[in-house]
Chains A and B, each alone.
Chain A
Amino acid sequence: MYGNDFASPSDAPSASPEPVEPGLEDFWRIVGEDGRIEPRDAMPEDYRSSLVRQIAQHAHSEIIGMQPEGEWISRAPSLRRKAILMAKVQDEAGHGLYLYAAAETLGVDRAELLDMLHTGRQKYSSIFNYPTLTWADIGTIGWLVDGAAIVNQVPLCRCSYGPYARAMVRVCKEESFHQRQGFEALYTLSHGTPQQHEMAQDAVDRWWWPSLMMFGPHDSGPHATAGHTAKSMAWGVKRFSNDDLRQRFVDMTVPQAEALGLTLPDPDLRWNESRGHYDFGEIDFNELFEVIKGNGPCNAERMANRRRAHEEGAWVREAATAYAEKTAARRTAGAA
């Protein structure tokens, strides 16, 4: 559902250029030619560790992202909407698994990554720490949150690390359904009764700014050296700045809001003829950093649910292991 890599300003790495270490000539040549790095190639250690962090954070976001929407499966307004929502939440689980598999090609294992999530040493996208208060939130998440995720993720299909890029191709194909089902659900509400329209507008009012925050802090102009952007771009992992992607999202979304008959809660939002883009208001990044730090409305609940699901699922994993061992032992005995 989501892929961006940023940290709060305090843990931003320095973006100083590094000399080419011996043995990495092939790496830099391939990256320079816009080729793909594959798992067993030599690569800089910080390329590897930074990809592990980014892909794991992305994977964690997918599986935590099942929660806000999963809460509405039992309350979906029709069987049609329920089947759609179940398929979407199942896709999010699938996206998490594609991504964990991609991270594992870099020499970490799944259990280790889950442990990092459960102990708070790795993060997930802050967007999932907001609550889903009404059914309209489900449509809005599909439209805005998945919409923002697509803008972030499409360039990752061309990222320099082959397994990540291939996983993203699969993810992006499936995201398109996510966004369209959200738009359709919201369109239906917006064109329903006045109360339904109001519910749709309320959800959009709450999700608009957090969706813009999904692109991360400013990293162009005077902020160009902040965060991971400069390094990620040199490595061919990141292709566009957070600010460019955010602008692309705003430009795509404003006409869609008009089609929905809903307004976006920003008095400064207007077309700028000279720039050829929409101008929009200042984003409150303090809110983003507070949520990343753990002070969002749902951080504690999301983590508690995740740990509980993992612990309560332990017996299933143990039973499957025991069964596999038993049948393997039988096969060996039968063969003897």
Chain B
Amino acid sequence: MSGRRDWPLFEVFVRSRRGLSHVHVGSLHAPDAELALRNARDLYTRRQEGVSLWVVEASAITASSPQEKDSFFDPAGDKIYRHPTFYDIPDGVEHL
């Protein structure tokens, strides 16, 4: 094997058409962002799956930890009044 250090990992996001947001589709290795973009085009949009691509170095992403998922997301759990279905509305009232 060659002694090169591994190329960084890039996460790839594709906007499939105008009006939709970019969605994560996978990842790839590349020496830099410019080549990551070109490789992502060849790898993830061979069949016109996208009109726009983002590549982000995986090491630049900060993620929530799966271990603390309960405590991290719990604060939203008991705030059911944030949903419209929480409220009682008399019968016959429309457009509300």
Contact = CB atoms under 8 A, between A and B. Distances in A.
Interface of A: 38, 40-42, 87, 90-91, 94, 97-98, 101-102, 104, 109-111, 114-115, 118, 166-167, 170, 174, 314, 317-318, 320-321, 323-324, 327-328
Given A101-B26, A321-B7, 15 more contacts: A38-B66, A41-B66, A42-B66, A94-B43, A97-B43, A111-B1, A114-B1, A170-B25, A314-B2, A317-B2, A317-B7, A321-B5, A324-B31, A324-B35, A327-B32
A129 B30 CA distance: 31
Nearest to B39: A97
Contacts of B30: 320
Nearest to B8: A324
Contacts of B63: 40
Given A94-B46, A97-B43, A110 B4 contact: no
B27 A109 contact: no
A40 B32 contact: no
Interface in B56-81: 63, 65-67
A114 B65 CA distance: 30
A101 B35 contact: no
B9 A104 contact: yes
B6 interface: yes
Contact of B32 (A94, A314, A324): A324
Among B1, B25, B28, B42, max chain A CB count under 10 A is at B1
A320 B26 contact: no
Interface SS of A by simple majority: helix
Interface SS of B by simple majority: loop
Contacts of A90: 42, 46
A110 B29 contact: yes
A54 B26 CA distance: 19
25 contacts: A38-B66, A40-B66, A42-B67, A94-B42, A94-B46, A98-B43, A101-B28, A102-B26, A110-B29, A111-B1, A167-B26, A174-B47, A314-B2, A317-B2, A317-B31, A318-B4, A320-B30, A320-B31, A321-B4, A321-B5, A321-B31, A323-B31, A324-B31, A324-B35, A327-B32
A99 B10 CA distance: 15
B66 A98 contact: no
Nearest to A101: B27
Contacts of A118: 1
Contacts of A102: 26
A136 to B, nearest CB: 27
Contacts of B27: 101, 104
Interface in B1-57: 1-2, 4-7, 9, 25-32, 35, 42-43, 46-47
A40 to B, nearest CB: 5
A321 B7 CA distance: 8
Contacts of B35: 320, 324
A109 B32 contact: no
Among A174, A314, A320, max chain B CB count under 10 A is at A320
